[in-house]
Structure 1
Amino acid sequence: MLVLALSVCLSAAPAACKDVNLTFMADNATPMQCIRMGQPEIAKWSVSHPKWTVKKWRCVPESRLSKSA
């Protein structure tokens, strides 16, 4: 499963940042499909979280995400 890993910061406090993971891709999706289809998903997330600004993002396999926290 591919995950969109976002780094987001509060618009009013740019030093207050966090990581957000959006899972939306099926097991058989390619990284290129994730990149292409990820942009509209990020836009949807941004609209529903107006206090946050996406600073960077990437597509990663779910297995590579840190399990800590």
Structure 2
Amino acid sequence: MLILLSICLLSEPTQCREDKIDLSFEARGPTVCLRNSQSALAKWQAEHPEWHVARWRCAVRGSVPRDL
């Protein structure tokens, strides 16, 4: 599973990009992703303090993601 992120710089909120968090488990369903997403997002945010997570969603690895 992946967590797809839409992130923006804190210093320049109009400068945004997409990123992803690759979770260690595969295709157990969206409920498992949602349950594990909060800790993964908190860890990512701590490692990237200059960015703000504007939006995020879970996606199956290998699927073609839509725009956030």
Q: Which residue of 2 aligns with 1:50?
A: 49
Counterpart check, 1:40 vs 2:39: yes
Residue identity (%):
31
Q: Contact (CA 8 Å) 2:8, 2:53: kept in 1 or not?
A: yes
State how 1:21-40 maps to structure 2 within 5 Å.
21-40=20-39
Q: Which residue of 1 aligns with 2:58?
A: 59
Q: Structure 2: 5+ residue runs without aligned partners? A: none
Q: Kindly tell me the number of residue pairs found equivalent between the two proteins.
A: 65
Q: Contact (CA 8 Å) 2:7, 2:55: kept in 1 or not?
A: yes
Q: Contact (CA 8 Å) 1:25, 1:34: kept in 2 or not?
A: no
What amino acid does structure 2 have at the position aligned with 1:60? A
Question: What's the offset of the Cα at 1:28?
Answer: 4.0
Q: Which residue of 2 aligns with 1:13?
A: 12
TM-score, with length taken from structure 1: 0.85
Q: Structure 1: 5+ residue runs without aligned partners? A: none
What amino acid does structure 1 have at the position aligned with 2:35? R
Question: Matched residues in 2 for 1:28 and 1:13: separation?
Answer: 35
Question: What's the offset of the Cα at 1:64?
Answer: 2.2
